Structure formats: structure tokens, C-alpha cells
Amino acid sequence: MAVFDGLDVCVEPVLSVQEALSEDAHIREREMVVEVELPLSDGKKVTQYGTAVKLSESPAQYRYGGYPVGYHTKEVLKAMGCSDDEIESLTSI
């Protein structure tokens, strides 16, 4: 960008994803990156992409970032008809 400093030209730097998400004012102002709390994590938050569609009458709400991998395993196995013993043998590995 130093090469173009002071010139009347239309240029922008090529940024890495990390640079674009953390440093770009436009990205921040449009809330394209949000911090979302993980369920069952005692307040731990993760960074995720915000929605590109912005509706003034119904703004996006980011309630949680998703459950940990395997959180619903026992519930799913039970719904599939597995017995408690079968579930225990499958999940105690």
C-alpha cells in the first residue's frame, strides 16, 4: 500500500482471512464475525461468521455455537432402539 500512498488510485490490499476478519473496519461494522457462547461450557465463546443478510426489523440472533461432538449420541442411540447396556458398551470406548 505504501507504493500507492498519495496517488489517486483505487487499490486495496490482499489480506489473509485472519487479517480480513480481525482488522477490517467494514467487517467489524457489519458484524460479519461474532463471538458466540458454547452450550455447557461455562461461558466459553467461539468466533464464527455472522450472517451476511441484515434485516433491520428482525436482526440476527446468535444464541449458541453448537453442542460438543457426541453430546447427543446416547439420545440418538436410544431413539434407534438400543438398550441401555448396548449404549453403554458403545459409548464407553
- The sign of the dihedral angle between the CA atoms of 74, 80, 82, 83 is positive
Task: Give the Cα separation of 43 and 65 in Å (integer).
Answer: 11
Euclidean distance between the first and the last CA atom of the chain, given in angstroms as a whole number: 55
Interval 29-83: pLDDT, tens: 888 888 898 888 888 888 888 899 999 999 999 887 888 788 899 999 999 999 9
More confident residue, 11 or 20: 11
Q: Write the DSSP symbol of residue 58.
A: S
Neighbouring C-beta atoms of residue 61, cutoff 10 Å? 6
Helix segments in 14-72, DSSP class H: 17-23, 25-29
